[in-house]
Structure 1
Amino acid sequence: MRQILAAEEVSWYDVPGVQLLGAVLGTLLLLAAIRSLFGRGGR
């Protein structure tokens, strides 16, 4: 008999904290990519 966890019933996209974390990480990765394209710090 398998017990169903509450986390399995909720999609990851429905959790506000996951959306916020994804937005922050995505922004940081985008900024890092742009900085690496134009050189470190632009100096």
Structure 2
Amino acid sequence: MRQILLAAEEVDWHEIPGVRLLGAVLGTLFLIAAIRSMFGRGGR
């Protein structure tokens, strides 16, 4: 169990492909939401 914890500590979380993909998707969604709110199309 100790070896598994040490192996997990050596990997940076931002180097995991799934985390990078999730960050790109969320960043794109937040960018679209910000642009829409700037132009008054917030969906309300």
Query: After TM superposition, is the score higher than 0.5?
Result: yes
TM-score (normalised: structure 2): 0.73
Q: What secondary structure is seen at the aligned counterpart in 1 of 2:23?
A: helix
Structure 1 stretches of 4+ moved >6 Å? none
Which residue does the alignment assign to 1:30? 31
Q: How does 1:4-19 map onto structure 2 within 5 Å?
A: 5=5, 6-19=7-20
Q: Which runs of 5+ in 2 are unaligned?
A: none
Q: Counting helix residues as a fraction of each chain, which structure ranks higher?
A: 2
In 2, Cα distance between equivalents of 1:7 and 1:24: 25
RMSD value over aligned CA atoms? 1.6
The code of the aligned residue for 2:11 comes to V
1: CA distance, partners of 2:15 / 2:40: 38
Q: % of aligned pairs identical? A: 74
5+ unaligned residues in a row in structure 1: which ranges?
none
